[in-house]
Amino acid sequence: MEHLLKVDQLKVNFNTYGGEVKAVRDVSFHVDQGEIVAIVGESGSGKSVTVQSIMGLIPSPPGMIKGGSIQFEGKDLLTLSKRQMRKIKGSKIGMIFQDPMTSLNPTMKVGKQIAEALITHRNFSKANAKNKAVEMLKLVGIPNPEARFQQYPHEYSGGMRQRAMIAIALACSPDLLIADEPTTALDVTIQAQVLELMKELQKKMNTAIILITHDLGVVAETAQRVLVMYGGVVVESASVMELFENPRHPYTWGLLQSIPDTDTSEKKRLVPIAGSPPDLFSPPKGCPFAPRCKYAMDICLEEMPTDYDISDGHTAKCWLNDERAPHPETFARLGETENA
């Protein structure tokens, strides 16, 4: 089957005063129709840069897409002109940003901000666009949508603003929705509501979603597949079930160990991942995680591991999965006993 979105060997650099930052290094993944794919990783791991390149939102300069391709519905987005790209942005791909407080224009009525996309892409008349915008506000669960249409963002609460952002992003029924940490800036109960809403709309409209988050709980709740990114590289990629059941990269182990367990009353220390993220000015020639990895071998510092196929759709970029390496499960268990 043809993938909806296929990112292949994407490389993105940023020119800064300190030198060239290699923010995204050979990232490849795909998203299928109607699927929710999560990208997890810590700050600076390249998640946002990856999805912003899909949308053509990398500011250039200083950003530069150095290579690779982004196939979307059979077209390479990287080769499209600005004008062609504008036909896709907001129309076929919608995007929601992290901070709903600053992502809406404070001097424009919320309704108009939703209607704008419809007028631009669907040639709606003002009246039709208004009707559709009110309908969208209703769809995202904003009560009294007619009155809310006329209001400005500062009259909305944080959760409502993120709902309004979702309404903007979904107004033209895009095939793909990119949600860049949509719940990070919201408090926990609102987070759950917004995620629930996204899941519900995703089912209703059969929109594929790329969900960026650093919350594995969110991943488990919503996504079907996960990419784990570290140092600008996808280190592990698997279905959600598979990733939680059978993680094969030490960084993923670290992430899983740092989730607090609220089900048991037993007091347990969370295990942080020691060390700090790699310097992307001159990324290590080996595995980016090797300097922080408890299980690092000599080769890890020397050579970037290839993607090892663990099972169907599950790959891990770690030398431990090589048949010549000591069996990683032993280490995983070792890690568990260490923490007990």
Binding site for other proteins (CB under 8 A): 55, 57, 85-91, 94-95, 97, 99, 102-108, 113, 116-117, 120-121, 152, 154, 165, 168-169
Cβ proximity to other proteins, 40 vs 114, nearer residue: 114
Residues 6 or more apart in contact with residue 151 via CB below 8 angstroms? 109, 110, 111
| Nearest approach, Cβ of residue 105 and other proteins (Å) | 4
CA pair distance 180, 178, nearest whole angstrom: 6
Give me the residue label for tokens 């895009």.
Answer: 174
| Nearest approach, Cβ of residue 113 and other proteins (Å) | 8
Secondary element (H or E) of residue 65: strand 63-72
| Nearest approach, Cβ of residue 95 and other proteins (Å) | 4
Cβ proximity to other proteins, 88 vs 296, nearer residue: 88
Cβ proximity to other proteins, 46 vs 328, nearer residue: 46
| Nearest approach, Cβ of residue 166 and other proteins (Å) | 12
Cβ proximity to other proteins, 117 vs 273, nearer residue: 117
Cβ proximity to other proteins, 159 vs 278, nearer residue: 159
Cβ proximity to other proteins, 121 vs 292, nearer residue: 121
Task: Say how many CA atoms lie within 13 Å of 320 toward its Cβ.
Answer: 24
| Nearest approach, Cβ of residue 171 and other proteins (Å) | 9
Tokens of 155: 């009259």
| Nearest approach, Cβ of residue 151 and other proteins (Å) | 9
CA distances from 216 to 116, 154, 228, 321 (A): 35, 31, 10, 23
Q: Are 98 and 181 in contact (CB under 8 A)?
A: yes
What DSSP string runs through 230-297? Answer: ETTEEEEEEEHHHHHHS--SHHHHHHHHTS---S--S-----PPPS----TTS--SS-TTGGG-TT--
